[in-house]
Amino acid sequence: MSKKDSVRISIVGSGYVGLVSGVCFAEIGHRVICVDNNREKIKKLKKGICPIYEPDLDRLLKKNIKEKRLSFSGSVRDVVEKSDAIFIAVNTPPRADGSCDLQYVEAVAREIALSMRSYKVIVEKSTVPAETGKKIKQTMKLYNKNNAPFDVVSNPEFLREGHAIGDFMKPDRIVFGVESEKAEKIMRKIYKPIKAPVIVTNIETSELIKHASNSFLATKISFINAVSNVAERVGADIKDISKAMGLDKRIGSHFLDAGVGFGGSCFPKDVLAFIHMAQNLGYDMNILKEVYRINREQRKIVVEKLKEIIWNIEGKKIAVWGLAFKPDTDDLRNAPSIDIIRELLDSKASVCVYDPVAMDNFRKIFPNRKNLKFARSPYDAAKGADAAVLLTEWSEFGRIDFKKVKKIMNVAAIIDGRNFYDKNKLIKAGFIYRGIGR
């Protein structure tokens, strides 16, 4: 990219979204500074160490540092005047009542305003309720001591963990919520190398596009999980139902996999935030309350199925394969594994877990918990177990030698929480098999 096409970008918040966006913007030719107030994180990043597990992120991080398009800072104030566009990508966690906690967004907006001297585009990248852009603008005006001109833009992010680089570089669409032609021009310049349809709207529409998209995907998952509970009761197979439904182009095949439900840092939080936001606006999003409820109930199914097979949980050894909320990430935020393993431990089972990358993060959630062991392999976890439970469909679990597993387990029983295995093959191999909705 020529210097005239390259934009000076800062990204405040170097988590999954901020770091991936920063690395990808650098990769397409912009000069990027990633900022975070977590000193340890910035220290690691400055040394070229990637603080999260995300396929290919480590390589691109090192490459762009070496090619001098990517650098890091612990201070918002230091980067403001070195940037034309400043992205806010901090966390927006749920409060106890389910509403979105915007204190980090507000703090960053305030800090930017305090040191701003020339025109900037302030980009809201974090997922936020509608009308947050207005609030950012209001705060920026309040602390803009130098009266510097600025525009606020909403540019929601649709990447998925585990596929983050691919999703960022080849998105289905790019959305800008803008209020001025000048800001739109800068946003188009930033995203020019990325080929995707661009939707330009006002800020509130753009904010709602993000919430509506996540809530719709969550609704699809809860819908198929609800159907799976009926399927199971009549002897139908949810995998065939999903396949046949998904072939209808109006329905689409994605996000129709029944299982232990959705986890992660976004769907549960964003569904709750949408419910809360609508309530504040005088509208009851009852449909999403049900989506959330079905998802909570779905996690309980694993222990119920275990009880059906081994009757009493107390004193039994349960192997758990997979801890992360989905494959190809070490993220455990809101992972179904946490609730399920807590229930097993509270029922006095002894639990032996294995995950290819999320073990260290899991140890931090359950430090020194009695009856919880960490295995070196799926086989190590299964040794002497009265049942094995699959909670994350890592590809490694697709290569398991079930002949070997059958020999080392106490009882050859598998609860397949993601409908990952060929049911008939496992039954033929002598396993007691329970999937979800089949």
The C-alpha atoms of residue 319 and residue 163 are separated, in whole angstroms, by 28
Choice from 9, 10, 16, 291 touching ligand NAD (CB under 6 A): 16
Catalytic (active site) residue 50: no
| Stretch of residues binding ligand NAD (CB under 6 A), selected from 31-39, 78-86, 382-390, 427-435 | 31-39
By a kind-dependent CB cut-off of 5 to 8 A, residue 221 interacts, out of ligand NAD, ligand UGA, none, with: ligand UGA
Which of 24, 34, 266, 352 is an active site residue? 266
Which of 12, 9, 39, 42 minimizes the C-alpha distance to 136?
12
262 contacts ligand UGA (rule: CB under 6 A): yes
* Residues touching ligand NAD, count (CB under 6 A): 26
State in angstroms the smallest separation of the CB of 164 from ligand NAD. Answer: 7
Following CA atoms 214, 220, 221, 225 in sequence, which dihedral angle do they give, to the nearest 10 degrees? 160
Asked if 396 and 355 touch (Cβ cutoff 8 Å), the reply is: no
By a kind-dependent CB cut-off of 5 to 8 A, residue 325 interacts, out of ligand UGA, ligand NAD, none, with: ligand UGA
3-state secondary structure of 88: strand
| Type of residue numbered 93 | P
State in angstroms the smallest separation of the CB of 267 from ligand UGA. Answer: 5
The C-alpha atoms of residue 417 and residue 436 are separated, in whole angstroms, by 6
Positions 84 through 143 that interact with ligand UGA (CB under 6 A): 127
Which of 355, 332, 344 minimizes the C-alpha distance to 305?
344
CA atoms within 13 A on the CB side of 72: 27
User: Look-up: residue for tokens 């609730």?
Assistant: 339
Choice from 274, 325, 362, 421 touching ligand UGA (CB under 6 A): 325
12 contacts ligand NAD (rule: CB under 6 A): yes
Choice from 61, 90, 332, 352 touching ligand NAD (CB under 6 A): 90
State in angstroms the smallest separation of the CB of 241 from ligand UGA. Answer: 13
Which of 121, 149, 124 minimizes the C-alpha distance to 134?
124
- Residue 162's DSSP bridge partners are none
- Token pair of 172, please? 């289905």
Interacting residue ranges for ligand NAD, rule: CB under 6 A: 12-18, 35-38, 41, 89-92, 104, 107-108, 126-127, 157, 159, 161, 265-266
State the catalytic residues.
266
Interacting residue ranges for ligand UGA, rule: CB under 6 A: 127, 157-161, 214, 217, 221, 255-257, 259, 261-264, 266-267, 325-326
